[in-house]
Structure 1
Amino acid sequence: MEILKLREHGKLLDKASIWFHSKWGIPVEAYKESIGECLKNKEIVPQWYLVLEDKKIIGGAGVIENDFHNRKDLSPNVCSLYVEEEHRCKGIAGKLLQYVCDDINSMGIDTLYLITDHTSFYERYGWTFLCMVQGDGEPDKTRMYIHKKAK
């Protein structure tokens, strides 16, 4: 298993965009645009990451300003975290989350947020429930978690 920073692997732009689209249903072009911004290396956010095994994508995640919710002040957000079903329960998501946090922390950002429907998954990896937020165009509120770098 290998975790890659897409900003260092631009040749994977199309493959990554298609893979993320297949998991979340967000248009391929939206992923291409965001990953393309990551490749420019001008801003810390957005950032995108892939987990590869034998050159096959088995997981991924991103960091964007806002993951489609009303709390624009809670930024940046980890988004699109996904691990292929046959690779779950092996600690891959936890390793990826830690890798993402460490990478973003190394760029000077010590606090990350994420929204999720999961109620106990992220706590295992140092995330803390913060509040409920309204998703863009969603009828129900969803859970917002926070991760702060240990001092």
Structure 2
Amino acid sequence: MKVIEYFTSENKEHWKEQIALADWSAAKFLLKLLNNTQKFDELLGGDGKLFFLLDGENIVSFVTLTRQDCIRDENMFPWLGFLYTYPAYRGNRYSEKLLKYAEEQAISDNHPIVYLATDHIGLYEKYGYTYLETRKDYLDEDTRIYYKKL
């Protein structure tokens, strides 16, 4: 298995077709953003990255590393988001592997801390994340904010 970055990869249509197969509404939203990179940059900040963990030509997991997320706070960045593992690959800690890769990228970009926003309780704690607080996201919904010092 290997990790690639969407925006610097070839065959973007192939990757978008695979994202479209994900049974998760946030993946559908991500696909809309990928089809309109201006909107992607507007919502998630410029220079965002989308990482895929691949099994051959199949996406196992994906995650974003961006300047913004659904929480608008200029003092909190970067954000990890859209973390997803396809059902056939679940139970093998592939999400953890991809999170670690994204964290390493954040470190190489001189970011000593990363944030994520989620509704999940108990998932990210096992990866070393600490609950910070609950805030309203840009859709005015409660979202839990976690952080991790790298």
Is the CA contact (8 Å cut-off) linking 1:94 and 1:125 kept in structure 2?
Answer: yes
Q: Deviations over 1:65-109 (max 9, x none)?
A: 221224343221101110001111101000100110011101211
Match of 1:145, as an amino acid?
A: Y
Determine whether 1:31 maps to 2:34.
yes
Is the CA contact (8 Å cut-off) linking 1:60 and 1:80 kept in structure 2?
Answer: yes
Determine whether 1:95 maps to 2:94.
no
Determine whether 1:16 maps to 2:15.
yes
Gaps of 5+ in 1: none
- Once residues 78 and 101 of structure 2 are traced to their aligned partners in structure 1, the CA distance between those partners, rounded to angstroms, is 16
Is the CA contact (8 Å cut-off) linking 2:60 and 2:89 kept in structure 1?
Answer: yes
TM-score (norm 1): 0.80
Q: Percent identity?
A: 20
CA RMSD across the alignment: 2.6
SS in 2 for 1:11: coil
- Once residues 49 and 18 of structure 1 are traced to their aligned partners in structure 2, the CA distance between those partners, rounded to angstroms, is 15
SS in 1 for 2:101: helix
Match of 1:5, as an amino acid?
A: E
Partner of 1:143: 144
Matched residue count: 142
Q: Deviations over 1:45-71 (max 9, x none)?
A: 411100111211121111112212243
Is the CA contact (8 Å cut-off) linking 2:79 and 2:114 kept in structure 1?
Answer: yes
Match of 2:68, as an amino acid?
A: N
SS in 2 for 1:74: coil
Is the CA contact (8 Å cut-off) linking 2:18 and 2:58 kept in structure 1?
Answer: no
- Once residues 134 and 103 of structure 1 are traced to their aligned partners in structure 2, the CA distance between those partners, rounded to angstroms, is 28
SS in 2 for 1:15: helix
Is the CA contact (8 Å cut-off) linking 2:131 and 2:144 kept in structure 1?
Answer: yes
Q: Deviations over 1:86-142 (max 9, x none)?
A: 11110100010011001110121111100011111111111111111111123x311
